[in-house]
Structure 1
């Protein structure tokens, strides 16, 4: 665990792997909220999101309840994806391209869903086996049937579990997690350092607790570009 901003910056420069949260970090929006709006149930779902954030129910309970309201069929999802191409956060494409050039591995780790995150990974040239997220399940007629409860990200504490799996599979000794939320911060450890991001939404708890908190991905690009040797 890092104990100062300088240590986090050093770990950032030396990282072998970087894990990004997706909603409100790599992209501007919260995918589930956007899908709820598209399906005409935005307000109901927003209320549940609020309750989940306040800790009055588990992540899995909140996810189950929200999806039971949305009832996303395969057809609805396809329509949504076609009409809502991902809105990337400013500078993230350049940052991920730079990480690739420096041979640092990039992963997306999200409590959101693969079918919504797939188009994001594609734009950013991130291989699908570097995406850790939830999966929708459908009935034969394409209607919503639930979600895969085997995915580590489908319950509370899922992000630390996903990062542990990444670490064990690839043998990384220096790994950084970047995100806007408390669940991203909880993924350190197993991440060696956490960088808070507030370019889309500032969560005060994260801003106060993170040793390094950035409002713009340009800060992360500059740190890599200005210190190539360390």
Structure 2
């Protein structure tokens, strides 16, 4: 199947909604973080230093062709579903390739995320992973963090009976622009969360607030200029977030 070449124009013609964090003060975002009853983390370049789709593209021998599309997707310059579809049309990963990739590339966590998730759990916070990546890559990371599969919202590859690539689930909330926001809204409606925070490195994370009550930009792996500029609270490591949490049951930590 022929694929589009990534555009050479770097300026976006998309109109982005302002996030709640754009209008809030840094102090407000910190206050929401301290009081949050739910936290949603992006995955690639956030809880893991790896961009999963770029890594499997390299494994399949098409890394250079795919990486430019990833830059466009993370920068918010093109519809996310378009970038996702075109990247996968280049890679066309088979079931065997994904299984082999995971055997040879064990899951890797970003420094400080395990301690932060444990600190959130100790305070009774619910933790979710919300990603435009794929379940074969993300679920092993969730297991390392003891996050149940039902708290993971991501995309799903599909294969024909012979294991050849057949596409992806285009009904998943996370496969299109605004998908992470839809997940955040769904979690608030379904689970009754009153203060939900989205944390991530990309424009799709930034745009999840609202309905997320606050957005925190993460630059511990890579700094996206738009996110750094628009996030009212931008951190360079998870330790900054752990340090901001209130004591457990009033005890000094």
TM-score interval (norm. to shorter):
over 0.9
Match of 1:60 in 2: 81
Asked if 1:107 corresponds to 2:128, the answer is yes
CA contact (8 A) 2:218 2:234 kept: yes
- Segments of structure 2 that go 5 or more residues without pairing to the other structure are 1-19
Q: Residues 167-209 of structure 1: CA distance to partner in whole angstroms, max 9, x if unpaired?
A: 1110111000000111101000111011111000011111111
User: Which residue number corresponds to residue 135 of structure 1?
Assistant: 156
SS at match of 2:142: helix
Matched, 1:161 2:182: yes
Q: Which residue of the partner structure matches residue 77 of structure 1?
A: 98
SS of the aligned residue for 1:64 comes to helix
Do the aligned partners of residues 52 and 94 (structure 1) sit closer, same or farther apart at CA in structure 2, a change above 3 Å counting?
closer
What is the 5 A alignment of 1:131-210?
131-210=152-231
Q: Report deviation, 1:57.
A: 3.8
CA shift digits 1:70-109 (9 cap, x unpaired): 1111110011111111221110000001111111000000
| C-alpha spacing 1:56/1:106, structure 2 compared with 1 (3 Å) | closer
Q: CA deviation at 1:48?
A: 2.4
> In the alignment, is the contact (CA less than 8 A) between 1:13 and 1:227 conserved in 2?
no
The CA RMSD measured in Å over matched residues stands at 1.5
Once the 2 structures are TM-superposed, how far is the Cα of residue 52 of structure 1 from its aligned partner? 3.8
TM-score, normalising length: structure 1 = 0.95
Question: C-alpha displacement at 1:130, in angstroms?
Answer: 0.4
CA contact 2:75–2:226 (8 Å) conserved in 1: no
- Match of 2:217, SS state, is strand
1:8 to 4, 7, 29: 29
> Quick one: structure 1 residues 15 and 77, their matched pair in 2 at CA, closer, same or farther if it must change by over 3 Å?
same
Q: What's the offset of the Cα at 1:115?
A: 1.1
TM-score (ref. length: structure 2): 0.87
